Amino acid sequence: MTNPRVTPWQDGDPALEGVVESIQARRPNGELIGIDRLLLRSAPLAIGWNDLLGRVRHQFSLDLEYLELMMCRVAVLNGAEFQWRVHKPVYLQAGGTPAKCEALREEGIAPIFDDTEHLLLTLTDQSTRQVQVDADVIERLKARFGEEKTVEAVATVAAYNMVSRFLVALAV
């Protein structure tokens, strides 16, 4: 975090009991990252954000590779480099490839992606760029994944659009 527009929370600053610890429990090595330190400026936001994003990242039934694919694409579309840097390594660990990471940065959906990935990227692109998602995209998602995972895919894109918009607005 180079020069955020809000002063980040610092170790030792006041915080509601248990809030910092709950965020640290969700992070690798318990280290707070830049977004956490900004969220901690509002305890209700930090609590709700941590709960929601923790559920999206760790409790959805959709494969982690697919979740991270969509998170990375949202980061690219919205110019959220911090989000990209956080999620790219997770995507790679979950099964993504360096070539697919590069393709996510291209305009349009590259042919390197299989049919399922292409469908998820179509959802991501439409929802992020125009908000409206074509009915046939939702129908194809339901046919491929069922309704639960379709809802999770749509919610993932929506949640990570929230993340990227927060990051970009506050220059994280």
CATH of the domain at 163: 1.20.1290.10
Burial group, residue 37, by CB count within 10 angstroms (0-12, 13-18, 19+): buried
The reply to whether 77 and 23 lie within a common domain is no
The reply to whether 68 and 140 lie within a common domain is yes
Count of structural domains within the chain: 2
Q: Which of the 8 DSSP states describes residue 28?
A: G
The reply to whether 119 and 103 lie within a common domain is yes
Q: What's the domain range around 54?
A: 19-58
Question: Do the domain assignments include residue 162?
Answer: yes
The reply to whether 153 and 82 lie within a common domain is yes
Average pLDDT over residues 62-73: 98
Question: Do the domain assignments include residue 3?
Answer: no
The reply to whether 36 and 51 lie within a common domain is yes
Average pLDDT over residues 89-105: 98
Residue 95 makes CB contacts below 8 A (sequence gap 6+) with: 64, 65
Is residue 97's pLDDT more than 90? yes
Query: What pLDDT does residue 39 have?
Result: 97
Is residue 1's pLDDT more than 70? no
The reply to whether 160 and 108 lie within a common domain is yes
- 0.85 exceeded by the pTM? yes
Q: How confident is the model at residue 134 (pLDDT cuts 50, 70, 90)?
A: very high
Q: How confident is the model at residue 156 (pLDDT cuts 50, 70, 90)?
A: very high
Neighbours of 13 (CB within 10 A): 12
The reply to whether 68 and 54 lie within a common domain is no
The reply to whether 68 and 101 lie within a common domain is yes
Average pLDDT over residues 129-141: 98
Query: What pLDDT does residue 6 have?
Result: 96
Is residue 2's pLDDT more than 90? no
Question: Do the domain assignments include residue 10?
Answer: no
